[in-house]
Amino acid sequence: MSYPLLFSLTGLISGIFLVFTETHWIIKSLLILAPLFLAIKHRPILFFSLGLSIGFITAGLQVSHPSSAFHPDTPIEYAQGRILSSKQSTFSTEYVIKTDILFTEPTTQKRVKILLKTTEREHLNYLPGTPLTMKHLSLYKIPPQKNPCSVDRRKYFANKGIHLQGEAKELSPGSDINLLLLFQIIRQTIIKRVDAAFLYFPEEKELLKTITLGQENIPYFLRNIGIQSGIYHLLVISGLHIGFLLLLLKAIFIPFAELNNRHPKLFPALALILLWLYTGITGFKVPVARAVMMVSLFFIGDIFERDTNILVSVMASAFVLLLINPYNLTDASFQLSFLTTTGIILFWQRFNPLKKGYLLSVILTSLAAQISATPVLLYHFGYIYPIGLINNIFFVPLAGAVVMLSFISFIIPVLFPVLRVLLTLFLRTATLSAPLSPPIHFNLSVSLLLAFYAFLLLSLYAPRRRICSQGLLLFGCLSLLFHFAAKHMKETRENDICYFLSLSKPSVIYLKETTAVALLADHYKTTEIQDIIIPLLNKHKTKDIFLFYTTASWNHTATFNTLKKHFPSTTVYESDKTTALPFSPYLDIFYYSALPSSFRTCSKREQIHLPSISVECVGEEKTAFSYILYAEDFSICIAPFIGETTAEAINGTTVDILYLADIKQTKKTKQYMETLSYQHLILPDKYKKFEPLTETNTGKILSLKHSAVKIIPKNKTPHISYYYE
């Protein structure tokens, strides 16, 4: 192992990490200068100090982005650029375009990346690399995430150096051919062959495209199956797939062993060309580029007849990629790629699993990958599926067979039927194994994360452990100091907080320590409850859920059963008016009798007393149920729909916050609503039907179109604000 490179990389990571923290500049200066005083006598600390300075300067220059100087007052009349990547949905396409933009402060023209969305049919299928002319271009900053635990588009695109998005009235493609466009033409040729061969097998087709060519948007069914079965890393092209490709190349070269012996540089040179050709076909995606860069350094050493340590290749690749884009440090994919690769390499160097037989080596390698990746997965997502430890023993060789046979089938299409059998086996087995294991939830802190990897590295890398431990100790101490000094790195959890989520149905979640009171609709979108609500409840370490249905429906499983899988202690409350609905006998047979302990009914004006909170059922109208939530420091009226009946029920009530999703405009409704006293009003959007309420309300009015709303009690006064504030 190259210790100068190891300590330089450690310093580089620390310097970037220091830039990301919100620490006073005096503290940052002291942390940068402190190692320099120790570097006089210790060479490792000297390399660490150099890396620290380079990381701090490089990240400081790249973190400040040009969108802060951009004022989108008037559209840009004319701009030219080149498409770097595209992401298609059903009716629109988002292009990442590199273009020249004129900034006003100061008046300079800079080449930046922008996100351009179009819905015009004739502009939906441009390939990456296509030159594009844009007229009347309107740009604005990418908005932040709307809901807690949802995808942060602003952060996601900022990590790629994109800070502006917009639309253009006129688009016209150029005819110039460049290298990126040439790669995409080859890619489209392969995709056409795949589409023709898998015309009646859409699921297998999507799996093949994902696992071999890479996709910007992995289909939801594949992503869900991959996560629950613990094999999601096999669906995303990474170093493992490059390893499969190299194995295929070596197998192809077996008949040419004599030629390769006479010209030992032939295979490394040809492998480099083919690997970078494959990288171009996949669109130069970062995980593929990372893996190919690591392998390239190894092959370059063979070409120039220099011994190359594979760990040195890994560290050099990480160093270069962090210099190019410091935001890679915060990217979960980047962390998983390098940590998993390093873990496997160290594991092989220490134990040499091949001596134990092929099957056992596959099992031990899979175990090493899982051990290396698990802490990062817990830190970023808060849960893992342990079934992956077993599944990878079977799916890693199967994925290797699929990938290698796919490359051969692209050239020899007659093999597609055999490939189809393997893909079907992959899908069916993954689908069957996905529900077998419940997730394990655990919130891992930065300090525990660092301690785990320090222990893992010291355990696997025995030689010169003293020098290695010095670097790990220095890195760990500085990282812990940054962790406690940085405000945004602290995982503070409010003991008492209420969220009004910006979802398709009215959604209110009140969190009190480990208890949650959730007022949700029954017929939820699967993606909303899986991707937002459940992660939010896990983040706050929720154990008990009291679910109040705000709608009545035939299917009483959509929300309840999904929550029940993750939180067994879930109890449903709903209005007793449900028993008067036409489908009540159906519910009584299939739900109430089967799960009597999980369902409760509440009559009108009845208060349900829960720990530190009470909920009053105030009315039912159009199968929508309204409630008043009484917390210790504030009260909220949640009304999915207000007509004359519900308005009469809450007539003369005083609450701090009124959350209204829909209203029927009648004379009686208006009269009743005028007697309702509230300080703050939360609406789905500023629709015309809400104008009478907004005109008479003098308090704070918030629209869920902009963001989720959160309420935090402060000195007996509810602090209400948008989530992203």
| Residue 116, C-beta contacts closer than 8 angstroms, at least 6 positions apart | 94, 95, 96, 97, 134, 137, 165, 166, 167, 168
Asked if residue 529 is part of any domain, the answer here is yes
Quick one: which of 90, 146, 94 has its CA closest to 528?
Answer: 146
Residues 281-307, mean pLDDT to the nearest whole number = 80
Domain edge (last residue) among 117, 143, 176:
176
Both 592 and 705 in a single domain? yes
What is the mean predicted confidence (pLDDT) over 60-81?
A: 66
Residue 490 lies in a domain: no
Q: Are 557 and 610 within one domain?
A: yes
Distance CA 596, CA 173 (A): 63
Q: Are 316 and 297 spatial neighbours (Cβ–Cβ below 8 Å)?
A: yes
User: For tokens 């890693």, what's the residue?
Assistant: 396
pTM reported for the whole predicted model? 0.74
- What pLDDT, on a 0 to 100 scale, did the predictor assign at position 290? 76
- pLDDT of 467 reads 53
Among 98-107, 277-286, 502-511, 605-614, the least confident range = 98-107
d(CA 710, CA 192): 48
pLDDT at 723 over 60: yes
Q: What are phi and psi of 481, to 5 degrees?
A: -65, -45
Mean pLDDT over residues 224-234, rounded?
A: 83
Q: What pairs with residue 717 in β-bridges?
A: 714
Please, what is the average pLDDT of the chain? 80
Tell me if 571 is assigned to some domain.
yes
User: For position 429, what pLDDT does the model report?
Assistant: 92
Residue 491 resides in a domain = no
Please identify, among 176, 210, 240, the residue that sits at the C-terminal boundary of a domain.
Answer: 176
Q: Are residues 116 and 172 in the same domain?
A: yes
Contact 471, 7 (CB under 8 A): yes
Q: State the helix-helix crossing angle for 3-20 and 25-38, rounded to 10 degrees.
A: 170
Stretch 574-598: mean pLDDT: 63
Between CA 447 and CA 430 the distance in angstroms is 34
701 and 553 together in one domain: yes
String of DSSP letters for 434-487: GGGSPPEE----HHHHHHHHHHHHHHH--TTHHHHHHHHHHHHHHHHHHHHH-S
Strands 680-683, 657-660: pairing kind: parallel
103-113 pLDDT, tens digit per residue, is 555 555 667 88
β-bridge mates for residue 614, sequence order:
609, 630
Pairing outcome for strands 570-575 and 544-549: parallel
Cβ atoms within 10 Å, residue 106: 6
For residue 100, give both structure tokens. Answer: 């020249």
Strand-pairing partners, residue 101, are 110
- DSSP SS3 for 270: helix
| pLDDT of 48 | 78
What is the structure's pLDDT at 490? 39
Per residue in 262-278, pLDDT (tens digit) is 888 888 888 899 999 99
Alpha carbon distances (Å) from 486 to 28, 179, 327, 592: 11, 43, 17, 50
> Do 32 and 154 fall into the same domain?
no
pLDDT at 204: 93
Nearest to 87 by CA among 67, 115, 113: 115
Better-predicted residue by pLDDT, 125 or 90: 125
Phi-psi region of 149 (alpha: psi -120 to 50; beta: other; left: phi over 0): left
pLDDT of residue 491: 38
* 385 within a domain of the structure (yes/no): yes
In this structure, are residues 353 and 360 in contact, taking their beta carbons and an 8 Å threshold?
Answer: yes
Q: Provide the token pair at 151.
A: 């995808």
Q: Determine, yes or no, domain membership for 293.
A: yes
Instruction: Out of 44-58, 281-295, 405-419, 622-636, give the one with best mean pLDDT.
Output: 405-419
Looking only at the bridges linking them, the beta strands covering 440-441 and 607-610 are: unpaired
Q: How many domains does the chain have?
A: 4
Same domain, 56 and 105: no
Are both 421 and 513 inside the same structural domain?
no
Eight-state DSSP code of residue 699: S
168 is in which domain, residue-wise?
66-176
Statement to judge: residues 462 and 543 lie in one domain: no
d(CA 589, CA 597): 14
- Asked if residue 568 has pLDDT above 60, the reply is yes
Residue pointed to by tokens 């994109």: 162
**For 159-163, 360-364, 490-494, 555-559, which range has the lowest pLDDT when averaged over its residues?**
490-494
Q: Which range among 11-25, 237-251, 268-282, 314-328 shows the weakest confidence by mean pLDDT?
A: 11-25
Give me the percent of the chain exceeding a pLDDT of 90: 15
Quick one: 635 and 571 in the same domain? Answer: yes
**701 strand-pairing partners:** 681
pLDDT exceeds cutoff 70 at 72: no
Is residue 713 in a domain?
A: yes
Residues 468-487: tens digit of each pLDDT: 555 555 555 555 555 554 44
443, 432 contact by CB (below 8 A): no
C-alpha pair distances (Å), 129 with each of 237, 302, 551, 570: 21, 33, 49, 52
Residues 550 and 621 in one domain: yes
The contacts of residue 663 (CB under 8 Å, 6+ apart) are 641, 642, 643, 669, 673, 689, 690, 693
Q: What is the CATH number of the domain that holds 548?
A: 3.60.15.10
Crossing angle of the two packed helices 416-433 and 220-229, in degrees rounded to 10: 60
Among 176, 211, 231, the domain boundary falls at 176
Q: What is the pLDDT of residue 447?
A: 67
CA distance 429 to 255: 35
For 492, the token pair is 């503070």
Written as six digits, the tokens of 51 are 């890396």
The answer to whether residues 222 and 346 belong to one domain is yes
Residues 470 and 430 in one domain: no
Tokens 């910007």, located at residue: 216
- Take residue 36 and report the two structure tokens written for it: 């320099």
Average pLDDT of the segment spanning 359-364: 73
What tokens appear for 482 in the block?
């940054």
d(CA 679, CA 627): 17
Structure confidence at residue 545 as a pLDDT band (50, 70, 90): very high
Residue 641 to residues 317, 497, 674: CA-CA distances in angstroms?
57, 24, 16
Domain assignment present for 92:
yes
Half-sphere exposure of 616 (CA within 13 A, CB side): 14
Q: Is the pLDDT of residue 581 over 60?
A: yes
Q: pLDDT at position 725, please? A: 61
